[in-house]
Chains A and B, each alone.
Chain A
């Protein structure tokens, strides 16, 4: 158990875009840091430690913990880097939580960033996979996801139209989010008519490539409410990895999500996640995940996800809105993406969501996913946890 309870007291994001040639990595990072400090009404002098990360091969420049200190505020402070591929952003949030929960640091600044425009995304992702066994047929993140979608479709008889409904939802929600890269509604017909990238995934079923950064400040219970009147308390975190080679995966259901979510619900006393949780920021890089992964999360029984999506329950105004921000399909600066989910879930708790605010959020969830099919999951509450 944590020695100190921990809360998110401030968040900041850049205005995410497909290409930011106007700034280098350090300058991009600084934009998010400055915004988060302003949100928490803190200065860099108040920060005790920094945890930062991205996915190394996207820019081909390692050691961001070192070269970004002027932008991050890390000059002469304890700073460490975490990088776990697609889950980098959510791993950063979990790492920052561990640092504050340990009692060793009172206020920690957490930074995730990526400049996807600086290299070829598929080429960079390939470097995360085994050179002997995985790379011959490997085709970036999309093909593995497509194989998952294909397995699930075949088992439960859903179609690409069911998945398209998820994409329509998220792209509509994104119109309410000033930070999102893609803010344009699409129709079911447009999703289905968009080019087939890798059966059964169409172009409009998947995330874009984005340049962007996100920063989150976590503080211990000793100071959290002095900094922020309504902080987002971290109730718990969990994560799981399940495989060595991609062929080891149980494609069609996501075991890492199943086990991570089950552990998180157990240790935070959640017995009926669908009823108890008010909003989810799901790291959902393609539309089918919006069906398959909420089943693995225990929100809805296996095989019932599509029906639940069509009911409108996960739309704004529904019983459990998912991705009020528009999610990953609307914006994906990879090393920041999982941390944006954290920032957005906490924004909902704090009531600062503006046009994308869900009313009366007491419990919010954010997740992280890596192309290697691992899962991070975090639960936040408006109330300070009593455990």
Chain B
């Protein structure tokens, strides 16, 4: 059988949108971000770990988190990469804005890391330990895009 006999059929351009519940804790985070430009976390009553993004249960201790705290808005880069390879973002159908800084940011007062864009700036190169702050969108909608990116301070 010739190679041309092996047919490959495309699924076409169909899309299937989803509608995700953000949850009680995530909703409070985005409400604070949108209305007050405030970053909040939540503390585990057993181990004291402060989670940002906030969530209902500390998985390590398996107890319910109750104590809300304000964290940040400044923080530190715990680790990062600079994404350089081009690929289509399945969330938007468009190419991701490569190259971009991908930061794991620990807000002051938090113990987990928040993932977001970090500016690429020759004068202040991205590095582990660098201090950063969020640059907020003027018009905020209650999504993670209410932060445009993180600016490097030093």
Once A132-B22, A143-B102, A150-B79 are accepted as A-B contacts, the answer to whether A199 and B84 lie under 8 Å apart by CB is yes
Contact B26 A132 (CB under 8 A): yes
Contact B113 A151 (CB under 8 A): no
24 CB-based A-B contacts, threshold 8 Å: A22-B3, A123-B88, A127-B90, A132-B22, A134-B115, A137-B100, A137-B103, A137-B115, A137-B117, A139-B85, A139-B96, A140-B87, A143-B81, A147-B81, A151-B78, A151-B79, A197-B83, A197-B84, A198-B84, A244-B59, A246-B104, A247-B112, A247-B114, A252-B79
Which residues of A196-213 are within 8 A (CB) of B?
196-201
**Secondary structure class of chain A's binding surface, majority of residues:** loop
Most B CB contacts (10 A, CB to CB) among A122, A195, A247 go to A247
Q: Which of chain A's residues have a CB closer than 8 A to the CB of B63?
A: none
Q: What's the Cα separation between A150 and B82 when bound, in Å?
A: 10
Is B55 an interface position by the 8 A CB rule? yes
Contact A196 B53 (CB under 8 A): no
Q: How far is the CB of B144 from chain A (nearest CB, A)?
A: 5
Residue of A nearest to B84 (CB): A196
Contact B90 A120 (CB under 8 A): yes
Interchain Cβ contacts within 8 Å, total number: 114
Most A CB contacts (10 A, CB to CB) among B26, B79, B117 go to B79
Q: What's the Cα separation between A147 and B59 when bound, in Å?
A: 23
Q: How far is the CB of A136 from chain B (nearest CB, A)?
A: 5
Q: How far is the CB of B10 from chain A (nearest CB, A)?
A: 10
Which residues of B1-19 are within 8 A (CB) of A?
3, 6, 8, 11, 18
Is B116 an interface position by the 8 A CB rule? yes
Q: What's the Cα separation between A246 and B81 when bound, in Å?
A: 14
Is B122 an interface position by the 8 A CB rule? no
